[in-house]
Amino acid sequence: MKHFTEEEMIAHYYSEGFSKAEAERHLQACPQCAQAYADLSKLLRSVPASDLPLRDSGYGAQVWQSIQRSLQPYEPKQKRRFYWPRFAYAAACLLFLAGAFRAGRMWEQAHSKPLVAGAEQQTKQRVVLFVLDSHLDRSERLLVQLNHAGGEADDVGFRLQAEAQQLLSDNQLYRQSAAQANDPLLNAALDHLERVLVEVANSGSELTSRDIASIQKEMNTPGLLFQIRVLRARVSEPKTNAHAIPKGANT
Amino acid sequence: MGNDDYMLIRSVLAGEKDAYGLLVARHSQSVFRVAFRITENEADADEVVQEAFLRGYRKLQDFDARSNFGTWIYRIAMNCALDVLNKQKSQTVVPIAQDYDSELPTVQLADRAAGPDRLLLSQEIETRRHAAMGKLTPTERVAFVMRHMEDHSTEEIAGALGIAPNSAKQAVFRAVQKLRQSLAPLWVRS
C-alpha cells in the first residue's frame, strides 16, 4: 500500500488535489497515514488567524480622508482636448487642400479655356477652310469646263449638269454660313455661283452648247471664275499659315 | 454590487473624484483584513490599505469592466503587503525570540488570551506562530494566509501572486512544513 506524502495530506486538508472519497478510504484503511493526517490537522487547526483589530464603520471614511488630497481628479475631456486640435488641424489641412485644388482648377479654367476654345475654333476654321477650298476648287473646275465647253460633245453637258447638282446643295450651305459670318465678298461670290449652278443643274435633260454659251454670257461665268480664284487664294492663305504653325505651339 | 462599483468607477473616471470615496468605504474593511493577515501589524496594515487604494485610483483607467473591483483591489492590497514585507526583510532584522523575554528587543505580541488559565499556552502558541510566520518568505506567507486564513483556492492564489498554480501549491506546502517544524514541539509538550 502506498502511503500519503505530506504534500498529498496538505492538499487533502485543504480539499484539493485528488478525490476526497478515495483519500478517506485510504485513511480508514491505513492507520499510519491516518495518524500522520491527524497530527497535521491538529497542527493546522492550532494556527488560528491572528485576531483582527476592530475597524469601525468610519474606517473607510478615514482612509479616504487620508488619501483624497493626493489624488488628482480624472479629466473626462482629456481625450477630446487631445483629439480636438488634431481634428482641427486635419480639417484645416483638408480645407486648405480643397481650396488649393479649387483655386488650381479655377486658374486652369481661367487660363486654359481660351486656349482650348481658341484651338478648337482654329481647328474648326481649318476644317471649314479646307472644305470650302475643296468646294471652290470643284466649282472652279466646273466653271473652267463650262467656259471651254462650246461646241463639244453632249456628254460634257451631261457631266457638268451632274456636277452642278452635287455642288448646288453644298453651295447653299456655304452661302448661308457666309451670310451668318458677315463675309460679304464670299457671300456674293457664292450667291453668284449658286445662280450659275442652278441654271446648269436645271437646264433640262440635255445641256447643249447653246445653253452653255447662254449661261456664259448671261451669268458672266468668266468673271465668276476670277472671283472664285481670288477667294481660293484668300482661303488658301490662312490654311497655309495654319499649317505653318509650329507643332506644340499654344498660340 | 458589482454594477454599482462599476458605475462609481465610471463616475471617478468622468472626473468625480469623490465617487472613489464610496469605493474606499465599501472595500476598506476587506482590504484591511488581508493587509493585517499578511503584515500582522496594524500600522503596516493601515499603510497597506492607503497605498492599495492610492494605487487603485491611479490604475483605475486600466480596470477591466468585466472584473470585480473587490477582487481587483484585494490583489493590489496583497502586492502592497508583499512590498511591505520585502521592505522589512531588507531592513534591520529584528530577532524573534523563541521565548518571551522583556529584556530583549524582540517582537512581542499582545496578550489576547481569554483567561488566565490559558495565558501561558496561548502566549507560547502565538509567539511560536508569529516566529514561524516570520520565517516564511513573502510569497509563502501570502500563499499560506490566502489558503489557510482567507480560504482561497490554489488558482486564486496563483492569480493574485502572478505565479503558476503548481508554484502556489508548493508555496503553501513549504509554508505548512515550516510551521510544522516550529509548532510541533509545542504539541509534543502539551
Average pLDDT over residues B149-165: 86
Spans of all domains in chain A: 1-42, 116-244
Looking at beta carbons, which residues of chain B come within 8 Å of A75? Answer: 15
Looking at beta carbons, which residues of chain B come within 8 Å of A66? Answer: 50
Q: Which residue has the higher pLDDT, B104 or B51?
A: B51
Q: Does the structure show a pLDDT above 70 at B9?
A: yes
Same domain, B176 and B102: yes
Put simply, whether B19 touches A (Cβ < 8 Å) is no
Among the candidates B60, B91, B122, a domain finishes at: B91
Residue in A144, A149, A142 with CA at minimum distance from that of residue A194: A142
Residue A170: its pLDDT value, please? 86
What CA–CA distances, in Å, run from A223 to A144, A193, A226, A230, B65? 11, 11, 5, 11, 106
CATH number at residue B44: 1.10.1740.10
The shortest C-alpha distance from A99 to chain B (Å) reads 39
pLDDT in tens, A19-38: 778 888 888 888 988 998 88
Same domain, B39 and B87: yes
pLDDT in tens, B123-145: 777 777 778 888 888 888 889 98
Domain that holds residue B164: 97-190
Which letter does DSSP use for residue B115 in this model? S
Cell numbers 498554480 correspond to B165
Same domain, B61 and B21: yes
Residue in B37, B29, B30 with CA at minimum distance from that of residue B141: B37
Cell for A226? 476670277
Cell for B83? 512590498
Residue A42: its pLDDT value, please? 84
Which letter does DSSP use for residue B98 in this model? S
The CATH architecture annotation of domain A116-244 reads Up-down Bundle (1.20)
The shortest C-alpha distance from B63 to chain A (Å) reads 14
What is the pLDDT confidence band of residue B57, given thresholds at 50, 70 and 90? very high
Taking an 8 Å cut-off on Cβ atoms, the answer to whether B180 and A43 are in contact is: yes
Same domain, B165 and B104: yes
Q: Which residues of chain A have pLDDT under 70?
A: 1, 17-18, 49-50, 77-86, 111-121, 124-125, 150-155, 204-206, 237-251
Same domain, B41 and B117: no
- Specify whether the backbone of B154 is left (phi greater than 0), alpha (psi in -120 to 50) or beta: alpha
Same domain, B101 and B186: yes
Put simply, whether B190 touches A (Cβ < 8 Å) is no
Looking at beta carbons, which residues of chain B come within 8 Å of A40? Answer: 176, 180
- The answer to whether ipTM exceeds 0.85 is no
Percent helix, strand, coil in chain A, to 5, is 80, 0, 20
Q: Which residue of B has its CA nearest to A79?
A: B14
